[in-house]
Amino acid sequence: MKPFDYFSPKTLSEASEVLSKYNDDARMIAGGTDLLLKMKAGRLAPKAIINIKRIPDLRGLTFNSHLTLGALTTLEEIKQSPIIRQYYPALSSAAATMASVQIRNLATVGGNMCNAAPSADLAPILIALNATAVINGAKGERRVLLEEFFTAPGKSVLGVGELLISLEVPKQEGKSIYLKHSPREHMDIAVVGVGIACRGFNPLTQVRIILGAVAPIPLRAKKAEEEVMGGSLTKERIERAAKIAAEEARPIDDVRGSVWYRRKIVEVMVKRGLTGLVNGN
């Protein structure tokens, strides 16, 4: 690892100041579970590391008209939170599929988003739940739909000096599900992740189908959504929607799976997810 200057700011403005001073050469560290791997492997050598864990504005998990997840909320907190288990069970179960408890105690939801890996498990389900990213920078606060947050692998709309403060998740009036396919049940990255949230039943009045790990960024399968909206929701329509979603996916061949295999898994999982939601589990 190359040497770096280390900062541990206690406020957002202090953090923004250091970030702007180093321009693009500083990196924030939250749980460090993505960042340190890259630094250890020599793929990243920032001039400054800014520990953001001492900034109180980034903490907290509250639920009133909506759910607010401070960027520092850990994956284990999301897995265990009684509020999330009750009102957003698919979010809690998505966190439960991730890493190990030792990593989940370090890893944060903010890190999972800002690292912007195509396979990030919380992205498909949070986008399905229509979450909004609250961002802070020199120019103040701005809000971006999480659906529009990711721009490329490892990239998001965050500009230099900007931090993700929190994620806001609207109250859910329907049902949702997250399905992850990976060869190993534990400690494995998604080959395909599918997050679905829907409202109404026979007809569906709203549905969002988000595919993870099969495109440069989490992908909304809009044509598949259209296929199942309105009218009576038959098995045939669900199967058609699953095939359409597989067509919409833009996967790559890599060590975890081929293009063909990933599309096939998308089809299987979209079908399984929609069927599960319709049958009420």
Binding-site ranges for ligand FAD (CB under 6 A):
27-35, 37, 52, 58, 71, 75, 98-99, 103, 106-108, 110-112, 114-115, 119-121, 158, 163-164, 187, 189
Question: How far apart are alpha carbons 111 and 146 in whole angstroms?
Answer: 14
Longest dimension (CA), the chain: 62
- Binding site partner of 105, from other proteins, ligand FAD, none, Cβ cut-off 5-8 A by kind: other proteins
Question: How far apart are alpha carbons 110 and 106 in whole angstroms?
Answer: 12
User: For the purposes of burial, counting CB atoms within 10 Å of the CB of 195, is it exposed (0-12), middle (13-18) or buried (19 or more)?
Assistant: buried
- Binding site partner of 155, from other proteins, ligand FAD, none, Cβ cut-off 5-8 A by kind: none
- Our finding on whether 174 is near other proteins (CB under 8 A) is no
Classify the C-alpha dihedral 168-143-158-196 as positive or negative: positive
Using alpha carbons, select from 220, 216, 214 the residue that is nearest to residue 152. Answer: 216
Closest approach of ligand FAD to the CB of residue 99, in Å: 3
- Binding site partner of 121, from ligand FAD, other proteins, none, Cβ cut-off 5-8 A by kind: ligand FAD
210 phi and psi, to 5 degrees? Answer: -120, 130
Closest approach of ligand FAD to the CB of residue 198, in Å: 23
Per-residue x/- track, 66-85, other proteins (CB under 8 A): ----------x---------
- Binding site partner of 147, from ligand FAD, other proteins, none, Cβ cut-off 5-8 A by kind: none
Q: Which residues, other chains included, contact 50 with Cβ-Cβ below 8 Å and sequence gap of 6+?
A: 7, 8, 9, 15, 18, 19, 26, 27, 28, 29
248 phi and psi, to 5 degrees? Answer: -70, -30
203 contacts 92 by C-beta, under 8 angstroms:
no
Closest approach of ligand FAD to the CB of residue 189, in Å: 5
Question: How far apart are alpha carbons 228 and 220 in whole angstroms?
Answer: 14
- Binding site partner of 102, from ligand FAD, other proteins, none, Cβ cut-off 5-8 A by kind: other proteins
Reported residue count of the chain is: 281
Binding-site size, other proteins (CB under 8 A): 27
- Our finding on whether 103 is near other proteins (CB under 8 A) is yes
Please give the DSSP secondary-structure letter assigned to residue 147: G
From 29, 114, 125, 134, residue interacting with other proteins (rule: CB under 8 A): 29
- Binding site partner of 4, from other proteins, ligand FAD, none, Cβ cut-off 5-8 A by kind: other proteins
Q: What do you get for the CA distance between the two ends of the chain, in Å?
A: 47
From 20, 51, 130, 275, residue interacting with other proteins (rule: CB under 8 A): 51
Residues of this chain that interact with other proteins (CB under 8 A) are: 1, 3-6, 8, 29, 31-33, 36-37, 40, 49, 51, 53, 76, 96, 99-103, 105-106, 186-187
